Amino acid sequence: MPFLHQTFTDYNLEEFTRFNMIVPFRISKFRSKFLTVCYILMIFSGFLRVFTDPGTSAFTYLLIVFAIPLVLVYVSKRQCRKVYNANPELQNRHSVMRFYEDHLQETSNHQSVDIPYSSIAHLVETRTHFYLMTAANQGMIIVKANCSAELIQFIRGLKK
């Protein structure tokens, strides 16, 4: 059976990190949990402001509110780097994706996988990428710059 569309993705640290920073916010309750932590930090900062030395500047409390989420992002990116560097199969992976009428085939320098469209759990679209998720923490990265206009429309049609 001939394929309808084809694209490729070169997996690297940047793509892996972007995937791990974007997808959890889009498909799980991680975003609401992250915002809840930020709100709790703001409330905690307000309590600190009330119960500490009146001479302490408001900047100190704002620093607490903004520094902790930034530290969380830094730690997440660092963890991604460690996982990527520890797994040789993720490094320098070239993946070709062929789209057929009823399934998609991903062939990389390590494996070949056929995935029926019905097993795609989530489709996350950003300005520059598609993320086809087969599980909550497993998916494929598709770079829009490597796709034809017809393929982009085809992938968007998979959302339905």
56-70, 90-104, 139-153 — which is least confidently predicted?
Answer: 56-70
CATH of 5-12+89-157, picked from 2.30.29, 3.30.70, 1.10.760, 3.30.519, is 2.30.29
pLDDT at 149 over 80: yes
What is the 8-class DSSP label of residue 121? Answer: -
Going by pLDDT thresholds of 50, 70 and 90, the confidence category of residue 142 is very high
pLDDT at 9 over 90: yes
Q: For strands 93-99 and 103-108, give the pairing.
A: antiparallel
pLDDT at 73 over 90: no
Rounded average pLDDT over 2-23: 90
pLDDT (0 to 100) of residue 160 = 66
| CATH 2.30.29 in the chain, residue ranges | 5-12+89-157
Q: Mind listing the pLDDT tens digit for each residue in 83-139? A: 999 988 888 889 999 999 999 999 998 889 999 999 998 899 999 999 999 887 788
Q: Is the dihedral of CA 111, 116, 120, 123 positive or negative?
A: positive
Name the residue among 122, 121, 117 with its Cα closest to residue 101.
117
Q: Mind listing the pLDDT tens digit for each residue in 19-48? A: 988 887 777 666 677 778 777 877 777 777
122-125 sheet: strands from edge to edge = 122-125, 129-135, 138-143
